[in-house]
Amino acid sequence: MLSPKKKIVFITGTRADFSKIKSLMHKVEDSSDFELFVFVTGMHLSSYFGSTIGEVEKNGFRNIFKFINYDKYYQMDKALATTIDGFSRFVSEVEPDLIVVHGDRIEPLAAAITGSLNNILVAHIEGGEISGTIDDSLRHAISKLAHIHLVNDENAKKILMQLGESEDSIFVIGSPDMELLEQSTISLDEAKRYYDIDFEHYAIVMFHPVTTEFMDMKAQSENLVSALKSSGKNYIVIYPNNDLGFEFITQSYEALRGLARFRLFPSLRFEYFIALLKNAEFVIGNSSCILKEAPYLGIPGILVGSRQNGRAGSQSVLKVEAQSSAILEAIGQIHKIDKTGAKHTEILNSSERFFEYLQSGAFFEIPTQKVFKQIVYKENL
């Protein structure tokens, strides 16, 4: 008798995680050994944040399940509880062999809790990174619940081992979205036409809340907006994610609406976003893209505030406090940045590596009972 296809569930809650896992999802969907299930929730289903479910659907996956996990206040702890409830009922119906989660948001945390409490293997992509805001705690919590770790590099592996994770459970596959940068086929003209953008020169703005600085987010976003207005440049402004404090940012962007030098968008389609990014004068804000895609593409960045604290920097990125004068000064310096100093990122064929491990059965040999690997310090020997 033929062995049944193994069922693999991916959860996606935002454009940010989807761009990082979709190449892996295609590998699973295209294989006759596995069956892909996609649980779509979070910002994807919110029209306010651009209904990015459309991006997921355009990929043509057969089994897509939609679940609204928020109410009108987008409260993060309540959304976490709701997602656990919905995802738990979903897995009891599907009975997956493996759950794949990415990153550091409440949706992957909900899926990792559900998987680990039901003895279902959980694989976590991009654990072992360090950053600011609540993301850092969420990411490490997900790693502690996951059984399998698919990490960017050797440094991430060391950080997970410091958290007590077993070396056998950590697989270096690289960052899955980076391979997509080479494959993007949309031209700048197409992207500009699609979004009706007529700037010749422009920069991209992506600023998210720092949940642990909630009380200061109104001032930070107003400072950013004031500097952008004073700079005299053209900007494509992309809405933040729905983390605590996002309204401060979207409210301050209202001052830009209708101004000729600014175009506001809830979210851009990934390939179009990459085409616009490749041709941007610079990118400003606190998106992970400032430290990942932008340096790789040779686009300078200005990192505002603390959200990416702890992540490896790049010579092509200026880091400033979220104060108007500092931001404006950095914008004035941007032409001096040596783009050749951009961080060189080695692009691994992540989806291929992921699929090889999947097919070899390596993931399925990992036990659901985890063992904490204690580091033995010299003085205790």
d(CA 327, CA 228): 8
Helix 135-145 to helix 106-117 angle (10° resolution) is 20
Q: Least distance to ligand UDP from the beta carbon of 232, Å?
A: 24
Nearer to ligand UDP, 11 or 206 (CB): 206
Distance CA 126, CA 151 (A): 5
CA distance 154 to 141: 20
Tell me the helix, strand and coil percentages in the chain, rounded to 5. Answer: 45, 15, 40
DSSP 196: T
CB of 7 to ligand UDP, least distance (A): 27
Distance CA(85)–CA(323), nearest Å, equals 41
Among residues 96 and 301, whose Cβ is nearest to ligand UDP?
Answer: 301
Confirm if 221 and 323 have CB atoms less than 8 A apart. no
Side chain identity at 146, as an amino acid letter? A
**Pick from 343, 51, 43: nearest CA to 208:** 43
Nearer to ligand UDP, 273 or 355 (CB): 273
Concatenating the DSSP letter of every residue in 74-95 gives --HHHHHHHHHHHHHHHHHHH-
φ and ψ of 131, to 5 deg: -155, -175
**By C-beta, is 142 or 238 nearer to ligand UDP?**
238
Q: Which is nearer to ligand UDP, 69 or 288 (CB)?
A: 288
Q: HSE on the CB side for 164, CA within 13 Å?
A: 9
Min CB(167)–ligand UDP separation in Å: 27
- Nearest distance, CB of residue 274 and ligand UDP, angstroms: 7
- What's the closest the beta carbon of residue 249 comes to ligand UDP, in angstroms? 12
Q: Return the number of other C-beta atoms located less than 10 Å from residue 144's C-beta.
A: 16
Q: Which is nearer to ligand UDP, 74 or 270 (CB)?
A: 270
Closer by beta carbon to ligand UDP, 35 or else 55: 55
Q: Which is nearer to ligand UDP, 224 or 289 (CB)?
A: 289
Q: Which residues would be at the binding site for ligand UDP (CB under 6 A)?
A: 15-16, 19, 177, 206, 208, 238, 241, 267-268, 270, 273, 287-289, 293
Residue nearest to ligand UDP (CB): 287
Measured distance between the N- and C-terminal CA atoms of the chain, rounded to whole angstroms: 54
Cα radius of gyration (the chain): 21
Question: Measured from the CB of residue 297, what is the shortest distance to ligand UDP in angstroms?
Answer: 11
Strand partners, 318: 302
Please identify, using beta-carbon distances, which residue of 25 and 238 lies nearer to ligand UDP.
Answer: 238
We find the least distance from the C-beta atom of residue 308 to ligand UDP, in angstroms, to be: 8
Task: Name the minimum Å distance from CB 97 to ligand UDP.
Answer: 28
Residue 19 CB, nearest distance to ligand UDP (Å)? Answer: 4
Q: Quick one: 206 or 322, whose CB is closer to ligand UDP?
A: 206
Torsion of CA 155, 160, 166, 169, to 10 degrees: -80
Rounded least distance, CB 273 to ligand UDP, Å: 4
315 token code pair: 């010579």
Angle between helices 270-278 and 188-195 (to 10 degrees): 120
239 closest CA partner among 227, 222, 226, 251: 251
